Amino acid sequence: MRKTGNMENQRRSVTIRDVAETAGVSVSTVSRVLNGKVDVAKETKNHILSIIDDLGYSTNLAARSMRSQKKNLIGLIMPDIAYPFAIEVMKGVNRAIAESEFDLLVYTSGDVRKRGRVTSEQKYITLLAKSISDGVIVVAPVASEYNIDKPIVSIDPVMSHPNYPSVHATNYEGSRAAMEYLIGLGHKRIGFINGRTELESANRRLSGYRDALKKNGIPIKEELIASGDYTTETGVKCGRQLLSLKNRPTAIFASNDQMAMGVYQVAEEMGLRIPEDFSLVGFDNISESKYLGLTTVDQFISEQGYGAMQMLIQIINEVPLEKQTLKVQTQLVVRSSCREYHES
């Protein structure tokens, strides 16, 4: 039954040829059945189908991808799959995928550092895009241009004006909103914990912080700006740094919720209460912060994933995009009101 050719001990898997030979038809007929073409006699088709079943044949993705255009596969490329932002994006993309005709292939090297070390982002994108998918979504890409002919949409790109469509939250506006809220409460000494400065999104949040102070005539004190990297650990570090200043800030605005969580921990350690002793606001709304009643700026990350997928599908179907940039609105979520503060 199984054609073994020569005495190689390598187990070969069953190919379209095996099916064709067993069924006594040509390879192309099998291919036609496989691809649902109509011009195949019903009985031939059924015969082939049963042989396929018998042999447990299934198509070779690689081979197929080489020949045909449409692959019904979308690639999602992320540096790391296990951090909150990535997971939220995936949820959104996944939802769009479920509603679509496409399947999803998520690619990751598991770790930002490993990826950077081994080879460039460009390589992976091209790999997935040119080879086996109809288009790709890239999270936080660093390059401003990719020379592939496949559709590409990015989420939270590092560059402010990349040459590909992109999706991002209104980081500046959200940051402004948070600050206006705190300032409106009477705060004048507001600490800021910065995120990964290589990301445009982080810089926009910082700008929001600075501009809000400026517009309200509050002098910017560099000692109140701590630099973190979006992890809870640096949140702890920066929280300690800010809260142990002789002239402690009356409020802290963290550039993401993970770092806000860190500050929260420090506050507990130091016996400081929120909001009595100081106010705390965090960007993002994905971590435990919501269970702690923290005030946050929600950037609707999963909507960004969903939106990116929608854009991509449009491009693939050659529907012209109205805008190259999709802005997902941020929203200030006040859970437990922050402390009102007025200088004595």
Partner DNA sequence: GTGAAAGCGCTAACAT
Partner DNA sequence: ATGTTAGCGCTTTCAC
Per CB under 7 A, residues contacting DNA are: 12-13, 15-17, 24-29, 31-32, 34-35, 39-41, 44-45, 59-60, 63-64, 66-69
Q: How far is the CB of 58 from DNA (least distance, A)?
A: 7
Q: How far is the CB of 337 from a copy of itself (least distance, A)?
A: 20
Q: DSSP H helical segments within 35-83, as ranges?
A: 42-55, 61-67
Query: Contacts with a copy of itself in 79-108 (CB under 8 A)?
Result: 80-82, 87, 90-91, 94-100, 103-108
Q: Give CA separation, 259 vs 222, 304, 344, in Å.
A: 19, 21, 30
Q: Quick check: 56 binds a copy of itself (CB under 8 A)?
A: yes
Q: Give CA separation, 160 vs 168, 199, 200, 297, in Å.
A: 10, 9, 6, 21
Rounded Cα distance, 122 and 295, in Å: 38
Query: Contacts with a copy of itself in 11-30 (CB under 8 A)?
Result: 11-13
User: Which is closer to a copy of itself, CB of 96 or CB of 242?
Assistant: 96
Instruction: Pick the stretch among 76-84, 199-207, 221-229, 310-318 that binds a copy of itself (CB under 8 A).
Output: 76-84
Judged by beta carbon distances under 5 to 8 A according to partner kind, the member of DNA, a copy of itself, none in contact with residue 40 is DNA
Q: How far is the CB of 278 from a copy of itself (least distance, A)?
A: 23
Judged by beta carbon distances under 5 to 8 A according to partner kind, the member of DNA, a copy of itself, none in contact with residue 240 is none
User: Which is closer to DNA, CB of 13 or CB of 329?
Assistant: 13
Contacting residue, 26, 37, 46, 110, with a copy of itself by CB under 8 A:
110
From the list 159, 132, 124, the residue with the least C-alpha distance to 145 is: 159
Q: Can you read off the two tokens belonging to residue 145?
A: 């241009």
Q: How far is the CB of 52 from DNA (least distance, A)?
A: 10
User: Which is closer to a copy of itself, CB of 61 or CB of 220?
Assistant: 61
Judged by beta carbon distances under 5 to 8 A according to partner kind, the member of a copy of itself, DNA, none in contact with residue 97 is a copy of itself
DSSP-based helix, strand, coil % in the chain, nearest 5 = 45, 15, 40
Q: Quick check: 132 binds a copy of itself (CB under 8 A)?
A: yes
- The DSSP secondary-structure symbol of 224 reads G
The count of residues in the chain is 344
Q: Quick check: 320 binds a copy of itself (CB under 8 A)?
A: no
Q: For a copy of itself, how many residues bind (rule: CB under 8 A)?
A: 48
- Helix, strand, or coil here: 11? coil
User: Which is closer to DNA, CB of 34 or CB of 272?
Assistant: 34
Contacting residue, 31, 44, 65, 144, with a copy of itself by CB under 8 A:
65
Order of strands across the sheet that contains 331-333: 225-227, 190-194, 251-254, 279-283, 295-298, 331-333
Q: How many CB atoms lie within 10 A of CB 323?
A: 8
- Are 252 and 219 within 8 A, CB to CB? no
